[in-house]
Amino acid sequence: MPRFSRSLAYLTVLVAAPLVASRAQTDLSTARPGRDPKQPIDSAYTAKIRQYTTETFFNSPLTDYLPASKTVPTPKAVLGDIAGAPTKLPYSKEVYEYMRLLAKSSPRVKVISIGTTEEGREMIAVAVA
């Protein structure tokens, strides 16, 4: 195993071990991925996700819905449809606009301009916490 991969594996174990230990009261053998049933969902957006997903195995219980929010806009606000809609390939300008809209709407999102491309277009990094 290359040194970098081995170091990464050790780091993963070191980071994950305290997380698993802190969940000692939860039976992880029966835990299933998915949303909290008390969490509201955006039913219209979720219906589009299911409509546009051609096969169920392309999705998971973690990505087959969109949580509802009164303050955080969906991609539809900028793109006109859900992210990944058929025949809709957004320009970077539209994606950047949406990322900046998220940053305005949530303290958990920060957009950082990291320079320009060889063609003079802006490049950004987005941090989500």
> Tell me: the pLDDT tens digits for 7-24?
444 444 444 444 445 545
Instruction: Specify the range with the lowest mean pLDDT, choosing from 5-9, 40-44, 80-84.
Output: 5-9
- Answer whether residue 109 is part of any domain: no
Evaluate if residue 105 carries a pLDDT over 50: yes
Q: List, in order, residues 6 or more apart from 67 with CB less than 8 Å away.
A: 35, 39, 40, 41, 42
Evaluate if residue 81 carries a pLDDT over 90: yes
Q: What is the total count of domains within the chain?
A: 1
Looking at residue 87, what is its pLDDT? 92
Residue 14: domain span: 1-31
Looking at residue 91, what is its pLDDT? 92
- Answer whether residue 122 is part of any domain: no
